[in-house]
Amino acid sequence: MSLKAENISKRYGSGLLREGKCIFREVSFELEPGKTFGLMGPSGEGKSTLGRIIAGLESPTDGAVLLNGNPLSGMKKAEYAAFRHRVQMMFQDPTDSFNPRKRIEHSISEVLKLLNNQETKRLQITKEMLKTIGLPEEVLARYPAQLSGGQLQRLALGRILLLEPEYIVLDEPTSALDVSVQAQILHLLKKVQEEQGIGYLLISHDEAVIRFMSERIGMLKKGKLDMIRT
């Protein structure tokens, strides 16, 4: 499955009598299965906005996101729902990914219910997911506040993997974590990618993280995307 950004531009505050502020213009790149495209650049350049557009959470002002050559904007409701399963987004702060009033088990089971899995099968799938992300079953009985940032980010990834995505937009996935934990999460992401062939769009201000993870790198700066040799 190919996923492309084609001449994407984003402006805010545009209207009939004004063009609005341009965040970036005519950005184009392609994501590939099993590979990582690293997106870096200074703060405030719109990296996260671009990631949200690729994940279908926000619309571009101009240009298009293309899935197998078909524009996201032209998809019917069922097609868009399928796209949202296939293209997921993992956010910077894992504490925002879970309901603080619900045990982890509830957050995981809600996803499995959406997938119409039977209760007996849910337990098996959950155990396999926990094995993949390297956490014990005891975490299911805990609340988010009882877990570390690294554990929550592992669980955020695990919950995404339940949907069997083909691409994941990783928006600063390790910047809120301690340095030692960052390395663990990055190695886990690489392991999952190798085993499942998932394509990543990795957004980070940390060049070392980008170069460790990525086959191709783009720099978003002053509204333009420039490709960088790896």
C-alpha span between 61 and 91 (Å, rounded) = 23
Give me the mean pLDDT over the 195-217 stretch. Answer: 96
Alpha-carbon distance of 9 to 84, in angstroms, equals 21
pLDDT band per the 50, 70, 90 thresholds, residue 10: very high
Specify the higher pLDDT residue, 19 or 16.
19
Model confidence pLDDT, tens digit, residues 17-46: 556 688 999 999 999 999 999 999 998 899
Mean pLDDT of 107-128: 85
> What's the pLDDT score for residue 116?
76
**Between residues 1 and 62, which one has the greater pLDDT?**
62
Q: What torsion, rounded to 10 degrees, do the Cα atoms 39, 1, 185, 43 define? A: 20
Residue 114: per-residue pLDDT = 81
Inform me whether the pLDDT recorded for 16 exceeds 80: no
- Say yes or no to pLDDT of 94 above 90: no
**What percent of the chain stands above pLDDT 90?**
75
| pLDDT at site 20 | 67
Mean pLDDT over the full length of the chain: 92
Among 230, 223, 228, residue whose Cα is nearest residue 25: 223
pLDDT digits (tens, 9 = 90+) for 159-182: 999 999 999 999 999 988 888 899
> Which domains are present in the chain?
3-97+163-228 (3.40.50.300)
Say how far apart CA 10 and CA 223 lie, in whole Å: 9
CB under 8 Å to 193, separation ≥6 — which residues?
Answer: 34, 36, 200
Compute the distance between CA of residue 180 and CA of residue 177 in angstroms, rounded to an integer: 8
Distance separating alpha carbons of residues 106 and 34, to the nearest angstrom = 30
The reported pTM is 0.93
pLDDT of 97 above 90: no
